[in-house]
Amino acid sequence: MKMKVINMLLIISLFSCSKDDDNSEVIIPEPIVYVQSITINGSDITSGTTGQMTAEVLPTNANNKTIVWSSSNETIATISSSGLITAYQNGTVIITATAIDKNVITATKEIKISSFTTTAYDYTVSTTAELLSALANVSAGETIFLNGGNYVVNSKITLSISGEEGNEITILGQTEGARVKLDFSSMSENSSNQGIVLTGNFWHIKGIDIYKAGDNGLQIKGNNNLIEFCTFSECADTGLQIDDGASNNTILNCDSYFNADSSIENADGFACKLSAGTGNKFIGCRAWQNLDDGWDGYLRNTDNITTTYENCWSVKNGYLKDGTKGNGDGNGFKTGGSDDKLLKHNATYKNCIAVGNVYDGFDHNSNRGIVVLYNCAAYDNGKNYSFSSTNPLEKLTIKNSSALGAYGSINATTIDVTHNSWQNGIITSEEDFKGIDYSELLASRKEDGSLPDVNFFHLNSDSDLIDKGIDVGLPFNGSAPDIGVFEY
């Protein structure tokens, strides 16, 4: 009987504990249900470049069924947060799905990619040693293909053999996914420590990033070479320099930026200068925040050469990578100049832009040659166009070109300057343009290496610069060419 009383008291006590002091019920929280397993579903990619992965997460009543996707090799394929694989080349990757509730439960699946048409290159390399070996053995008509990744190079590479016209030697870097980076950062700063010196002829180099050489990133001394979709950055002298009689080279869709020496006084983006030969071209190239000039055409030991620039953009040169001013000249395009103030560097600029440069957008220096500017644009430079009456050009032609703000100074022995934004009663203002933010000019290039689409200096439909130019042989719409770098 005593035992029964005790049990009754215990039951009464338990019931009394299920309510709080004001007789409201106490709610006991449900236990957390964690993910216990993940199953990945998806197929190998045998056609196209994408594939969808899904994940079955158990138990079905898990509180948080969110997973994070990852790829073992993003140079082969990446995977988005929704499980969409984007492939860049043939190969095998391990796809991992990880539950985020505890970051403990994972699943993996091997995906093979075989949808890319394989090209039989003469040499395919993935390491610095393999690259150097291929360069030592390559001959005319052959191609060296570099898989994406970082190649540490400790000494200068000299390319002295030559291809032939129609039978070039090609160095081709992977441009889809991870690009090819030749890393020369172990080099000391020294005038003999170029990254690559090209003395041979008929080379085609495409899709290579040259980084932190002890002098020029690439120095060209040969002829008839094509350098395409490459970058040159943080070198201790000019990113790409054409010198030593080099002629008829084309630099296409290349970028050169953040080049500076330790004295904070030298290093251009691009330079066809000193003893360069004639017939060199820059097309679709960009130079920004190089310590000295975007482009430098200063001559020594050569005379009366001609260089062509088409669709080239020069932005904020004279500034360092951190945005501070250096001690360099800070010109966008330095057309020429020489020690004796007598040498001629003839230069033609078509649809080129100079903006935000510390000193001059388009600079005369002491060039005594013939300079032509067609459909160019300058804005926010120390001086937009600067052609001095001291040691003047033989002839200066400027047509269909624009300046936002003061145009600068226009002088030469012979002048043919007509149909520009500061002439014929035209008033040019910000309202003429869809945009004046020149940071747009530094956006990523398109997949084929061409320049990005921008709003900068594109004309509004009511701009009085439309159809106010003169035919200079460049394509145009309407009754006459527009003034400025972009045709409406």
Coil, strand, or helix at residue 158? Answer: strand
Confidence category of residue 20, pLDDT binned at 50, 70, 90? very low
Contact 316, 357 (CB under 8 A): yes
Environment class of residue 432 by beta-carbon count within 10 Å: exposed (0-12), middle (13-18) or buried (19+)? buried
**Catalytic-role residue among 334, 344, 399, 468:** 334
Contact 318, 359 (CB under 8 A): yes
Max CA separation in the chain (angstroms): 128
Instruction: Give the per-residue pLDDT at 322.
Output: 94
Of 100, 97, 109, 16, the C-alpha closest to 66 is 100
Distance CA 448, CA 386 (A): 35
Query: Is 7's pLDDT higher than 60?
Result: no
Q: Establish whether 334 is a catalytic residue.
A: yes
Any bridge partners for residue 240, and if so which? 218, 270
Please give the average per-residue pLDDT across 110-139, as a whole number. 92
Please give the average per-residue pLDDT across 212-219, as a whole number. 98
Highest averaged pLDDT of the listed ranges 8-12, 29-33, 358-362: 358-362
Query: Is 4's pLDDT higher than 90?
Result: no
Location of structure tokens 């350098």? 227
Query: Is 373's pLDDT higher than 70?
Result: yes
Please give the average per-residue pLDDT across 43-69, as a whole number. 92
Any bridge partners for residue 310, and if so which? 283, 350
Environment class of residue 136 by beta-carbon count within 10 Å: exposed (0-12), middle (13-18) or buried (19+)? exposed
Confidence category of residue 265, pLDDT binned at 50, 70, 90? confident
Residue ranges of domains in the chain, CATH in brackets: 37-113 (2.60.40.1080), 291-488 (2.160.20.10)
Please give the average per-residue pLDDT across 110-115, as a whole number. 92
Cis peptide before 59 (omega within 30 of 0): yes
Instruction: Give the per-residue pLDDT at 28.
Output: 75
Cα dihedral 183, 186, 189, 190 sign:
negative
Instruction: Round the average pLDDT of the chain to a whole number and report it.
Output: 93
Location of structure tokens 């056609």? 47
Confidence category of residue 24, pLDDT binned at 50, 70, 90? low
Contact 121, 96 (CB under 8 A): no
Q: How far is CA 28 from the centre of its chain?
A: 59
Distance CA 358, CA 329 (A): 8
Contact 126, 150 (CB under 8 A): no
Instruction: Give the per-residue pLDDT at 23.
Output: 56
pLDDT in tens, 283-337: 999 999 999 999 999 999 999 999 999 999 999 999 999 999 989 899 999 999 9
Instruction: Give the per-residue pLDDT at 27.
Output: 74
Confidence category of residue 10, pLDDT binned at 50, 70, 90? very low
Please give the average per-residue pLDDT across 5-21, as a whole number. 41
Distance CA 108, CA 469 (A): 63
Confidence category of residue 118, pLDDT binned at 50, 70, 90? low
Helix or strand (DSSP H, E) at 409: strand 408-409
Of 386, 399, 361, the C-alpha closest to 483 is 399
Contact 407, 381 (CB under 8 A): no
Please give the average per-residue pLDDT across 179-189, as a whole number. 97
Tell me how crowded residue 49 is: count the other CB atoms within 10 A of its CB: 15
Query: Is 434's pLDDT higher than 70?
Result: yes
List the structure tokens of 426. 């035209």
pLDDT in tens, 153-165: 999 999 999 999 9
With 0.85 as the threshold, say if the pTM is over it: no
